[in-house]
Structure 1
């Protein structure tokens, strides 16, 4: 009896450890808070102009946007919240203090010479929900020589991602800069547009980053697919249906052919997480309808992915390779989540096969039974998180 009790306790402890797998991927309650800065660059007639679409409050609070995907997760989140509560005029008055360190980089260089940028105009939108990020427009300008040939932009460490778009020339440069990176030398006469393969390769990490670490809701959905069964077949059917569906709406949404407001898409994505998790609890395996349902949910998730590419405003010539690269990055991210979950689960269950309790060595041969228990526990946690997201995104 004592041995049976100890073995049960051991399994419960194992269950508790494995169920944290879902929680490890769900450390925050709101996804997609941090957005890339968009920079439109024009150099002509002796003037360099950089127009930024930027979350000024996050920069003024000193949040390391390279390290967090949600401002709520930052150590100085309270500073951000305090700034977010200020009026647009108050934020506009504080923004120029960022320029001193940016000009020291320098932010903009023309023909290898630093250009001192000045704040020309700051437009902070009004009537934005206090719980949502506020994206302001900041116009910077600096004097250059009339016969300038090239320009370079350096983006600061901790500033998160930036999409840099050259304006006013044929074949403009468009690039994706992470915090601490610099653009190549961009020809002011145009023709610096990325090739198909350059655009494709550069947007693979963008898609991957949208899953790991930023896509908490997509991560939980993929884990819900993983927790259905120990067999590979059900997982392949579900992932295939999900991939096909989100590829379709990712393309349609990013092209602007389908446009569903985030206020509708985000709650439905959260609801899809709940559905998948609850079905895991009550269904022992893959039903004939589940791949069809997963396909429908994949259409919703694709619209969520499309909103990311839509923010970038890619030139027409780079849209297709960027779209493909982004989708490849998303798939690699999803497969990474599944691989991490499978490895952690295998290690834990393998360690449990021989349990040494009270000096008695007992073989544990109940892998399917134990996986079912882990699946129910993990799915329950995922369902609770998803249900909270539904409430949060609809009512809060």
Structure 2
């Protein structure tokens, strides 16, 4: 649990990675890599052997990132026809004034004449991220790269076909599921907090239904631009929701009407968190609804898996007299402590 407490606060930041590689008609390439600026600064300082000052101002952060351009470029490896191609220029572009925007490094250089294949490595991000490749004829494709692994070999001699609806559905289903398992540590603890209130199936289903309906609503509204809150507000409140459900488990063992109402409200917050991740990952042009629905289904699948695992672990003991004192109370105390710690961490 100590590991979870120290790792989860940055879990969503690593997911905020967008990479666009554009080939121009004059034989050049332009590579734009967008990341959360504070997260990126922490990573680059690690590679450079430096340290990040506590709570740097945006101006300090951006000035230092601009200085670390060469360190960033060293973590980018572009192989064309088996030979490494280096960028000839590296520019840092600070995030726009809008809250929660990403900072961008822009690299440019020349492609070898007659280039036919490409492999790519971004040695900073551990989580999956999208690499969009735009051809000179206007066609494009998105390759999902698993963290610090190499991409597959990408054929540059042809136009990129549009992915089928099934391919998009499968891709976003997996993205939604992995956002919960294994990466959504805060969402996992919230679901476990719901589960621990009572071993009764009806009690659990009522809470899960309220949570699901709520986060599905705000996910859809936020992605359509009808509802928005900055992550500096949403993320601390999500952490606080984890602490609340765990603390309430300590003082009651029955489902009260206010519990359902609060779980619904907390579900609205978690939906905004899901939307923030999905917005940064991007939704496919022409298949917006497919991507949105299957991502949400993947999230539900991840949550149900968490509940199923928890049920399998405690089912033989749920009717024992000691179940509450030896399972519910200790587990809820740990979850509450982590939730409070995350809340304080996310507001400082």
Q: TM-score range by the shorter chain?
A: 0.7 to 0.9
Tell me if 1:95 matches 2:69: yes
Q: Residue 196 of structure 1 contacts residue 321 of structure 1 at CA under 8 Å; is this kept in 2?
A: yes
> Structure 1 pair 241/101, CA: closer, same or farther in 2 (3 Å)?
closer
Q: Residue 117 of structure 2 contacts residue 154 of structure 2 at CA under 8 Å; is this kept in 1?
A: yes
Tell me if 1:30 matches 2:9: yes
Partners in 1 of 2:196 and 2:267 — Cα distance?
A: 17
Q: Residue 29 of structure 2 contacts residue 111 of structure 2 at CA under 8 Å; is this kept in 1?
A: yes
Tell me if 1:172 matches 2:152: no
Decide which moves more: 225-234 or 117-126: 117-126
Q: Residue 25 of structure 1 contacts residue 219 of structure 1 at CA under 8 Å; is this kept in 2?
A: no
Deviation by residue 1:164-190 (Cα, 9 ceiling, x = unmatched): 223476553123211314156356775
> How well do the aligned residues superpose, as a CA RMSD in angstroms?
3.4
Q: 1:47 corresponds to which residue? A: 28
Q: How far is 1:276 from its partner?
A: 1.4
Give 3-state SS (helix, strand or coil) of 1:367's partner: coil
Tell me if 1:152 matches 2:132: no
Deviation by residue 1:143-198 (Cα, 9 ceiling, x = unmatched): 236776x6534224663233122347655312321131415635677553322111
Decide which moves more: 221-230 or 117-126: 117-126
Partners in 2 of 1:338 and 1:211 — Cα distance?
A: 12
Q: 1:379 corresponds to which residue? A: 332
Q: 1:266 corresponds to which residue? A: 235
> Structure 1 pair 101/309, CA: closer, same or farther in 2 (3 Å)?
closer
Partners in 2 of 1:245 and 1:113 — Cα distance?
A: 50
> Structure 1 pair 260/299, CA: closer, same or farther in 2 (3 Å)?
same
> Which residue of 171, 180, 197 corresponds with 1:228?
197
Give 3-state SS (helix, strand or coil) of 2:21's partner: strand
> Which residue of 239, 245, 248 corresponds with 2:214?
245
Q: Residue 5 of structure 2 contacts residue 342 of structure 2 at CA under 8 Å; is this kept in 1?
A: no
Tell me if 1:207 matches 2:207: no
> Structure 1 pair 283/101, CA: closer, same or farther in 2 (3 Å)?
closer
> Structure 1 pair 369/124, CA: closer, same or farther in 2 (3 Å)?
farther
Tell me if 1:334 matches 2:303: yes
Aligned residues: 334
Q: 1:14 corresponds to which residue? A: none
Deviation by residue 1:283-310 (Cα, 9 ceiling, x = unmatched): 2222244333322211110000000111
Q: Residue 281 of structure 1 contacts residue 376 of structure 1 at CA under 8 Å; is this kept in 2?
A: yes
> Structure 1 pair 201/315, CA: closer, same or farther in 2 (3 Å)?
closer
Structure 1: tracts of 5 or more residues without a match: 1-21, 64-75, 350-365
Q: How far is 1:126 from its partner?
A: 8.1
> Structure 1 pair 134/224, CA: closer, same or farther in 2 (3 Å)?
same
Q: How far is 1:23 from its partner?
A: 5.7
Q: How far is 1:346 from its partner?
A: 4.7
Q: 2:52 corresponds to which residue? A: 81
**TM-score, structure 1 length as denominator?**
0.72
Q: Residue 152 of structure 1 contacts residue 186 of structure 1 at CA under 8 Å; is this kept in 2?
A: yes
